[in-house]
């Protein structure tokens, strides 16, 4: 909504306010230093470091099998995909040829993770714009995915299911049936999301035209994932640099050109539909075979630099390993999607109201441990 | 049953038997005030329980069910906990205003209860400017909210309080005008007379189209007046944390909390009185048993309370400028036109009477 500032005789003064580190809208320990004039945001300055655990430094100490476990603790809502990123980098460096079974299972799990993550995001998004009920609807469906994970991996949040060379165990016998049940269930529930929130006139007023990010800005800020795609920047790693089994499924990259909060919202809803279609294409014909290939107990990568990127629920996660031939990486760098996406918050929030900041921040889908590693 | 004008006079007449008239009058009023205080403190607590249960039904949950059957004592236990909690405060707060603020809020909501005709007899205070009194008293509460936000020396609380000020002042207009529309129909501000008029049909039926429009505007404005979602700018928890009562704890917080629920009851009770015939039963089915009126009154009020809870648990929150746009650009002009339509209807005698 356009607001024109009328020159008035009232003397107004900018003031400073701390949003976070303990604030309901920052979903964790993000601290935003806001400069506000009345309700209008003049400047947003994210202040990081409250949960820095020096994961990258810890990776230099650990063996490659151990590094996988650390990645769970970065973006905990897409832990499967984080694990996969490290495993793929190591496997590429070792030039391991993985069985098809591993690739397909990894893809299914990644897409389930994506749905679970977006379910949680949707609930929290609703909560941020004031509709508290969405939270419980989102969690109801996420819970079903977590149950599937629990049965197969033994964990609900930090999976540790991928290991360099494949999967830690084979899938649980119930896995296929339960996944199918979930897809059938979720196909009836996802339209409910639209009727509850998407179609709501207040919600559309709150999100349309708010936090607009142009395609050029999206590219120059390094936006990725749904944030970039909401601005019309085709940046889906699954499409452009397919890994695992993404080259054998057909799916559409969810793209919107408006670049506002509502476009980013729609991209994520669309991604849930696409994720379901990907799972449906794969779930019926998981190839038979081994669930892992044998690797050495101590993995030593050949000397060199390796980079692999994957598409997490938040965007592009890159793993960059420099190896000098020892059992630990010499240097390991994660290119996390949340960090780049947070960097554009100031750009899209300035000029809006406090409510706009909260709504835009919700569609950036920030997970703070991913930003602060 | 002794047929007298209202409950206060009944008690006073009884007391005059033992003591001088002046003492009886004061004592009678105090007794009535205590009765109201006790009833509505408990009613407020059960509204909180109802809200939690309604929220649970909307959110695929069960809601409180541990303390007492169906969680009936849950809010009692919560209140006890709040009473026993330490009253913390900020060091740099304006102590006097900080301590005063909750009383403004709770007293204004409790005072408004005095005029409602729960039945023909059960009405503490039947003044001839009843509607005017209600509008005036219910806007006193915002002073408490403004004071609370200002004096607690917290920026989030201050933003919340300022939002509340801007919101209440705006929506007060709509409440006043939509009630005025109905007053055109009754020709009286006195609540007992408004109820008498409705023996020929509830006002929402008598006034048909403009009355329905007035009712819808009243419910929107009333929801905004009580600072509840989708108009809960004041304590928008995802934006401001807790808003104006961020720095309050224990019983002082409980006053704000209780006042919110009593206000919700008041808004619904005004709507019941003005639009839905207060204690009158539909088609006069229980006219021979007057005390049943209280059930009709509470039943209608709780239906409207449920409606407001329904709003809260389904709608997202508006932004503060959209809130003002809605009031000044839509509700207010519609309201003004509506008054004119109602005046024409009353003038041409186009009302529906049974």
Residue B186: pLDDT band with limits 50, 70, 90: confident
Residues of chain A contacting residue B321, judged by C-beta atoms under 8 Å apart: 1, 3, 39, 353
Residues of chain A with pLDDT under 70: 1-10
* B 128-157 residues inside an 8 A Cβ radius of A: 155-156
The CB-based long-range contact list for A326-331 (8 Å cut-off, 24+ gap) reads A326/A300, A327/A63, A327/A64, A327/A298, A327/A299, A327/A300, A328/A59, A328/A60, A328/A61, A328/A62, A328/A63, A328/A64, A329/A59, A329/A60, A329/A64, A329/A67, A329/A301, A330/A60, A331/A56, A331/A60
Contact B238 A126 (CB under 8 A): no
pLDDT at B17 over 70: yes
Residues B92-107: tens digit of each pLDDT: 878 888 888 888 888 8
Q: What is the pLDDT of residue A369?
A: 87
Q: What is the pLDDT of residue A2?
A: 54
Q: What is the pLDDT of residue A367?
A: 87
Token pair 């007492």 is at which residue?
Answer: B68
pLDDT at B288 over 80: no
Residues B109-123: tens digit of each pLDDT: 888 888 888 877 777
In CATH terms, the fold of domain A51-371 is Cytochrome-c3 Hydrogenase; chain B (1.10.645)
Residue from A21, A26, A44, A130 whose CB has the most chain B CBs within 10 Å, to mutate: A130
Residues B130-139: tens digit of each pLDDT: 888 888 888 8
In terms of pLDDT, which residue wins out, B239 or B269? B269
Q: How far does B87 lie from chain A, in Å, by closest CA?
A: 22
Q: What is the pLDDT of residue B1?
A: 34
Q: How far does B157 lie from chain A, in Å, by closest CA?
A: 12
Residues B265-282: tens digit of each pLDDT: 888 988 988 888 878 877
Residue B225: pLDDT band with limits 50, 70, 90: confident
Contact B318 A206 (CB under 8 A): yes
Name A13's Cβ contacts closer than 8 Å, sequence gap at least 6: A37
Residue B2: pLDDT band with limits 50, 70, 90: very low
Name B290's Cβ contacts closer than 8 Å, sequence gap at least 6: B1, B119, B120, B121
Residue B3: pLDDT band with limits 50, 70, 90: very low
pLDDT at B215 over 50: yes
Q: What is the pLDDT of residue B337?
A: 93
Spatial separation of the C-alpha atoms in residues A364 and B96, rounded to whole Å: 43
Residues of chain A contacting residue B234, judged by C-beta atoms under 8 Å apart: none
Contact B236 A130 (CB under 8 A): yes
Q: How far does A109 lie from chain B, in Å, by closest CA?
A: 27
Q: What ipTM was estimated for this complex?
A: 0.81
pTM here is 0.86
């Amino acid at each position: 909504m356009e607001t024109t500032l009328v020159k008035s005789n009232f003397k107004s003064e900018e003031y400073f306010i701390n949003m976070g580190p303990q604030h309901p809208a920052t979903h964790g320990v993000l601290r935003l230093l806001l400069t506000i004039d009345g309700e209008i945001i003049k400047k947003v300055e994210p202040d990081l470091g409250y949960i820095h655990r020096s994961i990258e430094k810890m990776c230099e100490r650990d063996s490659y099998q151990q590094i996988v476990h650390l990645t769970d603790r970065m973006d905990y809502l897409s832990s499967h995909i984080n694990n996969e990123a490290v495993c793929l980098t190591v496997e590429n460096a070792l030039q391991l040829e993985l069985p098809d079974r591993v690739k397909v299972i990894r893809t299914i799990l990644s897409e389930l993770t994506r749905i679970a993550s977006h379910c949680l995001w949707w609930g929290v998004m609703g909560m941020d714009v004031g509709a508290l009920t969405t939270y419980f609807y989102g969690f109801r469906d996420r819970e079903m995915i977590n149950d599937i994970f629990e049965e197969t991996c033994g964990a609900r949040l930090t999976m540790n299911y991928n290991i360099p060379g494949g999967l830690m165990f084979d899938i649980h016998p119930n896995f296929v049936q339960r996944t199918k049940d979930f897809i059938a269930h979720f196909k009836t529930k996802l339209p409910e999301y639209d009727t509850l929130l998407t179609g709501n006139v207040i919600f559309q007023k709150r999100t349309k035209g708010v936090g607009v990010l142009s395609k050029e800005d999206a590219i120059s800020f390094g936006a990725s994932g749904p944030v970039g795609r909401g601005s019309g920047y085709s940046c889906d790693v699954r499409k452009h640099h397919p890994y695992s089994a993404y080259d054998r499924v057909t799916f559409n990259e969810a793209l919107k050109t408006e670049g506002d909060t509502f476009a980013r919202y729609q991209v994520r809803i669309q991604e849930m539909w696409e994720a379901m279609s990907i799972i449906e294409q794969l779930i019926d014909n998981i190839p038979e075979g081994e669930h892992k290939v044998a690797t050495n107990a101590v993995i030593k990568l050949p000397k060199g630099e390796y980079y692999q990127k994957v598409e997490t629920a938040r965007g592009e996660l890159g793993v960059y390993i420099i190896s000098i031939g020892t059992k630990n990486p010499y240097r390991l760098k994660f290119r996390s999607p949340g960090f780049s996406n947070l960097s554009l918050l100031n750009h899209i929030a300035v000029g809006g109201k406090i409510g706009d900041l909260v709504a835009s921040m919700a569609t950036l889908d920030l997970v703070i441990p991913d930003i602060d590693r | 049953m002794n047929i007298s004008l209202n409950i206060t006079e009944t008690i006073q007449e009884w007391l005059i038997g033992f003591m001088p008239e002046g003492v009886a009058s004061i004592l009678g009023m105090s007794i009535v005030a205590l009765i109201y205080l006790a009833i509505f403190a408990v009613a407020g607590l059960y509204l909180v329980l109802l809200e939690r249960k309604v929220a649970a039904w909307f959110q695929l949950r069960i809601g409180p069910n541990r303390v007492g059957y169906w969680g009936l004592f849950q809010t009692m236990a919560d209140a006890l906990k709040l009473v026993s909690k330490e009253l913390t405060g900020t060091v740099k707060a304006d102590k006097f205003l900080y301590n005063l603020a909750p009383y403004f809020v709770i007293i204004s909501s409790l005072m408004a209860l005095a005029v409602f005709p729960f039945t023909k007899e059960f009405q503490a205070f039947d003044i001839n400017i009843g509607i005017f009194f209600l509008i005036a008293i219910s806007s006193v509460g915002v002073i408490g909210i403004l004071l609370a936000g200002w004096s607690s020396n917290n920026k989030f609380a201050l933003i919340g309080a300022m939002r509340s000020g801007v919101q209440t002042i705006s929506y007060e207009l709509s409440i006043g005008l939509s009630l005025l529309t109905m007053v055109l129909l009754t020709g009286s501000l006195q609540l007992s007379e408004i109820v008498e008029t409705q023996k020929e049909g509830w006002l929402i039926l008598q006034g048909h189209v403009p009355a329905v429009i007035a009712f819808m505007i009243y419910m929107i404005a009333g929801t905004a007046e009580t600072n509840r979602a989708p108009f809960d700018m004041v304590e928008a928890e995802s934006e401001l944390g807790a808003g104006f009562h961020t720095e309050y704890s224990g019983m002082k917080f409980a006053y704000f909390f209780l006042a919110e629920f009593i206000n919700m009851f008041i808004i619904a009770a005004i709507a019941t009185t003005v639009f839905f015939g207060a204690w009158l039963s539909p088609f006069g089915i229980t006219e021979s048993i007057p005390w049943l009126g209280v059930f009709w009154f509470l039943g209608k009020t709780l239906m409207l309370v449920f409606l407001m809870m329904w709003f809260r648990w389904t709608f997202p929150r508006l932004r503060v400028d959209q809130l003002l746009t809605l009031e000044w650009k839509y509700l207010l002009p519609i309201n003004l036109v509506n008054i004119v339509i109602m005046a024409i209807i009353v003038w041409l005698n186009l009302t529906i009477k049974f």
